[in-house]
Structures are given as structure tokens and as C-alpha cells.
Amino acid sequence: QGANLFFQLIARRYEKVPTVFTSNKPFSQWNKVFADVTIVSAILDRVLHHCTVVNIKGESYRLKERKEYMKQKQHIVNTLFEQGQA
């Protein structure tokens, strides 16, 4: 039912207002997200008509920030541990 509701949303917005999507799934995998291949095809038909696809590759900013935070946290723990041994 989710795919059908999403299709209805896309169909109502189609050629009327801009819509921006962000996804970590390529279009080729949308049939795994939405079980109904026919609806996925109809959604993509409308979404990709008149669209500009911007494919961004690389590490997520959130993941990058989290890794940096964990490095700093580990550095603090290591520093405290080293001071405790002195």
C-alpha cells in the first residue's frame, strides 16, 4: 500500500511542482524497496521525466562527523589512561 500512496503523491505533483528526492538506493533497486514492479515503473516514469539526477558519491557527512568524534573521544581516553600511568 505504501507504493500506491507514494505513486498517488507523485502523480498529483507531476508537472505541477518541483520535487526533490534523496536516496541511498539507485533507481535500479527501487523495485526492492517497493514490492509492486508496475507501480515502481510508473513512479520512475514520472520522476525521471524532465528531471536532473545528481549522483553524489562519497562518505556521508554524518558518518564522517561521527568518525571524527569517535577519534577525538578515543584520543581523550588514551590521554587520560597515559596520565594515570605516570
Model confidence at 85, in pLDDT bands (50, 70, 90)?
low
Say if CB 25 and CB 33 are below 8 A apart.
yes
What is the pTM (predicted TM-score) of this model? 0.64
Say if CB 3 and CB 39 are below 8 A apart.
yes
| E strand or H helix that includes residue 18 | none
Dump the DSSP string for 44-80: HHHHHTT-------S--HHHHHHHHHHHHHHHHHHHH
Q: Tell me: the pLDDT tens digits for 44-75? A: 999 999 999 998 888 788 888 888 898 888 88
